[in-house]
C-alpha cells in the first residue's frame, strides 16, 4: 500500500482530532513523527510537523473530510478585534533563534518561553490568546 501525507500538524491534539474523524469515516490513517514532536515540540518545524498519513486511494474522501472540518472550525471562531473568521491557531516561534538554541532552552527546562501557541488573525494581523467562540446555533452548517 502507498501512504501519502494528507496534512501536517504542529500539535498532537489537532492531529488526533483529525485522525479520529477519518477513522470514523472508515479511512485508515496513522501519524508520523508524533512521538518526537510531542516530546520535543520545538523540533516540529525542523521535522515538518506531525504528518497524518493515509492510503493514497483514500485521498479524495480524506480531503473532503479535512476541508469540512477546517470550514467548521473556521466558522466557529472569530477574531476578538475585527470579527474575521480568517484566523488560525499557530505556533509562534519567532523568538527561538535556531534549532540549537531551542534544544538548549528545552534542556534547561524553560522551553515554554520560546514556543508559544497563539491565535492569529490574518485580517487585522493581531495575535490573541482566545478567539471569540460563536454559538453553534448561529452557524448555518448546511451552506
Ligand atoms: Zn482580526
Distance 113 CA to ligand 1 centre (A): 25
* Residue 39 in domain: yes
What is the rounded average pLDDT for all residues in the chain? 79
Let me know: does 28 contact 62? Beta carbons within 8 Å. Answer: no
Helix (H/G/I), strand (E/B), else coil: 142: coil
Whether the pLDDT of residue 28 is over 80: the answer is yes
- The alpha carbon of 135 and the centre of ligand 1 are apart by a number of angstroms equal to 19
Query: In which element (H, E) is residue 139 found?
Result: none
Q: Cα(96) to centroid of ligand 1, in Å?
A: 25
Take residue 101 and report the three cell numbers written for it.
Answer: 538554541
Range of the domain at 52: 3-138
- How many domains does one find in the chain? 1
Statement: residue 16 has pLDDT above 70: yes
Kindly state whether residue 80 falls inside one of the protein's structural domains.
yes
Measured in Å, residue 35 CA sits from the centre of ligand 1 at: 34
- 76 — pLDDT class (breaks 50, 70, 90): confident
Distance CA 22, CA 16 (A): 10
Amino acid at each position: 500500500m502507498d501512504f501519502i501525507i494528507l496534512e501536517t500538524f504542529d500539535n498532537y491534539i489537532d492531529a488526533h482530532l483529525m485522525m479520529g474523524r477519518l477513522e470514523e469515516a472508515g479511512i485508515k490513517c496513522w501519524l508520523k513523527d508524533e512521538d518526537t514532536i510531542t516530546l520535543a515540540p520545538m523540533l516540529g518545524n525542523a521535522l515538518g510537523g506531525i504528518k497524518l498519513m493515509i492510503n493514497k486511494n483514500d485521498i479524495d474522501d480524506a480531503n473532503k473530510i479535512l476541508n469540512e472540518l477546517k470550514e467548521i472550525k473556521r466558522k466557529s471562531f472569530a477574531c476578538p478585534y475585527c470579527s474575521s473568521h480568517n484566523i488560525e491557531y499557530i505556533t509562534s516561534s519567532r523568538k527561538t533563534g535556531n534549532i540549537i538554541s531551542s534544544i538548549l532552552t528545552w534542556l534547561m527546562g524553560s522551553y515554554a518561553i520560546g514556543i508559544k501557541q497563539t491565535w492569529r488573525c490574518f485580517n487585522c494581523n493581531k495575535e490573541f490568546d482566545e478567539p471569540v467562540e460563536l454559538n453553534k446555533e448561529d452557524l448555518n452548517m448546511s451552506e
